[in-house]
Amino acid sequence: MSRTLPARILVLGATSAIAMAVCRELISPDSRFFLVARRADRLDAVRNDLLTRGACSVITRAINLDDVDAHAHVLSEAAAELGSIDLALLAYGILGDQEQAQSDFAASYAILHTNFISAASLITWLANYFENAGKGTLAVISSVAGDRGRKSNYVYGTSKGALNIFLDGVRNRIDRSGANVLTIRPGFVSTPMTAHLRQGPLFASPAKIAKGIVGAISAKKDVVYLPGFWRPIMFFIRALPEFLFKKLNL
Amino acid sequence: MLPVGLGRSYGDVCLLDGGTLLNSAGLSRLIAFNSETGLLRCEAGTTLSEILDFAVPRGWFLPTTPGTKYVTIGGAIANDVHGKNHHVAGTFGCHTPRFELVRSDGTHLECSATNNPSWYSATIGGLGLTGLITWADIQLRPIVSRKIDYEGIKFVGIDEFLAISRESANVEYTVAWIDCVAQGRNFARGIFMRGSHSTRPKSLKPSSPTRLSVPVELPAGLLNRYTVGAFNALYFRKQIRSRTSSVIDYEPFFYPLDSVQHWNKIYGHKGLLQFQCVLPDTDGSGGITHLLRTIAASGLASFLAVIKVFGDRKSPGMLSFPRPGITLALDFPVSEKSFGLLNRLGALTLDYGGSMYPAKDALMTPEQFQAFYPDWRQFARFIDPAFTSAFWQRVTANV
């Protein structure tokens, strides 16, 4: 591909398996990273990895992004350190425990807060930043689970579905400025988040998903399903009439 | 529990019924690289494929490599893998000066020849049983080209094979494909393949290799003595001249099977059995001919049969497999008859004072293992109390 890759990159949730794989795909002698995640030791490991592989510079900040009050500060700091942001990737989230969430709303609240509320706060700041800049890409990892509520994981699904709608709105608002908003909807990915699940043939590796994400960023796509076979599957799932859907064990 | 990398070991060294496997896939970060010396420090789940992608464009190559690049560093150390340059370079463990071992009680041991030397020695070839390897230093070797100066030399009979091996003692990579089906005047015919890293500076940029894939499991009986016999005859005749030379990319030279995804499906649903032994044989009289005659007479066909002379560079590993002599690697579709043949080959290997390779074994008995690896009791003291494997349970079932 001859399309130029983003060089100044902000990653929120940078120690996630998919984020790490995306960063590796983006490494070039010009690439400068600003990485944010909760754990300082893991951030150090990711920084060493990217520097060893040839990234130009890597700055890290260890904060908990659940703390929305800290967002504006860390985002301004990232913009200042990088000079400008070509790509902001939101790559954190929690799967939560659906059964626990059904009986204990605090557990539901935690999922909704991390996956949607805190993400919405970051996106609000970043949407304004990119709209002002008139260029750049805001890429957010959502999930195919956000396409329709299912009994097996509707709390997680709701958090991602809300995120999808929020991003649709932001895209509708800032696309005309020249900035790009990408909603990434992966299916099952073999990551620490899904390590407790029984892995079947539908599981993809983080490296494969990362290649798809970088391709979608370069192609300035709006919504990408990864791997691509999820698009027809989710089309079918969304198209099922509710009177039928509600009877299914999904 | 048991650490597992990409699970490419052919037997049960990477399996554990009812236990917990520690998936090392996430341990794939590089930690540091010295571009002057070629010393790479990386986490243990990093694969040889990832290291090649990183190192080749920078002018470095693996110190030694098995026939697939889809193995992890942890697996390469735990099985103390070897390659086509064993006669000059020794095993993977010979190029792993330092690594970290984490035990189930939480202790971190940095291991080298001088630091925790007995843990170092037990963990190289230690089949993942001494603890979890978290990172390792790998000493890469410099290259100036992706290319290999390759030569293919036909031979008929073990004597010719050994003569070419002796003549090739200074060639970096040597291995031979051998026809295990042919009898009579074609007995032990094969093609000796040797090569060295090209010394003419050329592009180090990655090529995009064509990737084939076997989409479905093929019928179980497909690989039999007739189809393999016909393939072998064609493969032997494909090289018309008795010697050919060419300059080829390192990928097809080292990893011909990696270009065919899911190649194992050609063996059908039941899969394949691998067998690799080494015999302390230097002139063909020490059992290798006996083994080859036994295979040819069995009527069973090994599709991928490989023979090589090991060198005498000693591995630091306590339980390392390679030792001076001739090594023979075979595979057979799973069947009752194959089990019978492999049991006979195992018994012959013991009679001739050889050894078998745990990474490619399904049938070694406790008596055989304990004879092949006399240091096993000493090794057992280093096993992590929380770790075991299906292989270890099998080969120590008598104690």
Q: For position B213, what pLDDT does the model report?
A: 80
Chain A residues touching residue B29 (CB < 8 angstroms)? 20, 45-46, 48-49
Percentage of residues in chain B having pLDDT higher than 70:
99
Structure tokens at A151: 């009994």
Domain count along chain A: 1
Per-chain mean pLDDT for chain B: 94
The answer to whether the CB atoms of A195 and B54 lie below 8 A apart is: no
pLDDT at site B208:
65
Nearest CB to B54; choose among A17, A53, A190: A53
State residue A120's pLDDT score: 98
The CATH code of the domain that includes B168 is 3.30.70.2520
**Is B207 near chain A, with CB under 8 Å?**
no
Residues B357 and B260 in one domain: yes
Q: Which tens digit of pLDDT belongs to each residue from B6-42?
A: 999 999 999 999 999 999 988 999 999 999 999 999 9
Assess whether pLDDT exceeds 70 at residue B182. Answer: yes
Q: Residue B244 above 90 pLDDT? A: yes
Neighbours of B182 (CB within 10 A): 18
pLDDT digits (tens, 9 = 90+) for A173-229: 999 999 999 999 999 999 988 888 888 889 999 999 999 999 999 999 999 999 999
When scoring B29, B49, B60, B138 by the number of chain A Cβ atoms within 10 A, the one with the most, hence best to mutate, is B29
pLDDT of the residue at A53: 97
Is residue A1 a part of any domain in this protein?
no
A49–B32 C-beta distance less than 8 A: no
Task: Please identify every residue of A annotated as catalytic.
Answer: 156
Percent of chain B with pLDDT over 90: 81
pLDDT higher than 90, residue B366: yes
Tell me, yes or no, whether B89 and B165 share the same domain. no
- Tell whether B249 and B312 lie within a shared domain: yes
B245 and B344, same domain (yes or no): yes
In this predicted structure, what is the pLDDT of residue A196?
85
Task: Return the residue of A nearest to B135 by Cα.
Answer: A45
**Residue A235's pLDDT is what?**
95
Does residue A240 contact residue A247 with C-beta atoms inside 8 Å? no
- Tell which of B30, B35, B46 to mutate to test the A interface (max A CBs under 10 Å): B30
Residue B190 neighbours by CB distance under 10 Å: 26
Instruction: Verify that B96 and B176 share a domain, yes or no.
Output: no
Cα pseudo-dihedral B66, B70, B72, B76, rounded to 10: -10
Overall domain count for chain B: 2
Q: pLDDT at position B327, please? A: 97
pLDDT at B257: 86
Q: How much is the pLDDT for B397?
A: 95
Do B250 and B379 fall into the same domain? no
3-state SS of chain B is: CEEECCCCCCCCCCCCCCCCEEECCCCCCEEEEECCCCEEEEECCCEHHHHHHHHHHHCEECCCCCCCCCCEHHHHHHCCCCCCCHHHHCCHHHHCCEEEEECCCCCEEEEECCCCHHHHHHHCCCCCCCCEEEEEEEECEECCCCEEEEEEEEEECHHHHHHHHHHCCCCCEEEEEECCCCCHHHCCEEEEEEEEECCCCCCCCCCCCCCEECCCCCCHHHCCHHHHHHHHHHHHHHCCCCEEEEEEEHHHHHCHHHHEECHHHHHCCCCEEEEEEEECCCCCCCCHHHHHHHHHHHCCCCCCCEEEEECCCCCCCCCCCCCCEEEEEEEEECCHHHHHHHHHHHHHHHHCCCEECHHHCCCCCHHHHHHHCCCHHHHHCCCCCCCCCHHHHHHCCCC
Q: Tell me the C-alpha to C-alpha distance, in Å, between residue A245 and each of A144, A151, A239.
A: 16, 11, 9
Taking CB atoms and an 8 Å cutoff, what residues of chain A touch B26?
17, 191-192
Q: How many Å lie between the alpha carbon of A46 and the closest alpha carbon of chain B?
A: 7
B35 has a chain A CB within 8 A of its CB: no
Residues of A in contact with B33 (CB under 8 A): 52
Q: Indicate the pLDDT class of residue B218, thresholds 50, 70 and 90.
A: confident
Inter-chain CB proximity A17 and B26 less than 8 Å: yes
My answer on whether B102 and B183 are in the same domain is: no
Residue A2 lies in a domain: no
For strands B355-356 and B306-310, give the pairing: unpaired
Mean pLDDT of A63-71: 98
Whether A81 is in a domain gets the answer yes
**Residue B154 shares a structural domain with residue B197:** yes
Residues 37-76 of B with CB under 8 A from A: 43, 54
A234 belongs to a structural domain? yes
Chain B residues within 8 A of A191 when measuring between CB atoms? 26
Structural domain range at position B329: 147-365
Dump pLDDT digits (tens) for B166-181: 999 999 999 999 999 9
- Over residues B227-253, the mean pLDDT reads 89
The average confidence (pLDDT) of chain A is 95
Region B292-299: mean pLDDT is 93
Name the residue in chain B with its Cα closest to that of A191.
Answer: B26
Residue A3 within any structural domain of the chain: no
Which DSSP letter does residue A18 get?
H
Looking at residue A1, what is its pLDDT?
A: 40
pLDDT at A2 over 80: no
A71-82 and A118-133 helices cross at what angle (nearest 10)?
40
- Residue B209 pLDDT exceeds 70: no
Same domain flag for B346 and B230: yes
In a domain, A250, yes or no: no
- Nearest by CB to A48, from B23, B26, B31: name it: B31
Nearest to A52 among B23, B26, B33 (CB): B33
Nearest residue of chain A to residue B54 (CA atoms): A53
Asked if B26's CB is within 8 angstroms of A52's CB, the reply is no
Same domain membership, residue B159 and residue B121: no
| Number of inter-chain CB pairs under 8 A, A vs B | 23
Q: For chain A, say whether B108 makes contact (Cβ under 8 Å).
A: no
Q: What's residue B247's pLDDT?
A: 95
pLDDT at B229: 85
Q: Please indicate, yes or no, whether residues B125 and B174 belong to a single structural domain of this protein.
A: no
CATH of the domain at B77: 3.30.465.10
B262 near A CB under 8 A: no
In the predicted structure, residue A52 carries a pLDDT above the cut 50:
yes
The CATH number of residue A108's host domain is: 3.40.50.720
Cα–Cα separations (whole angstroms), residue B367 to A23, B136, B364, B373, B376: 51, 33, 8, 10, 12
pLDDT surpassing 90 at residue B320: yes
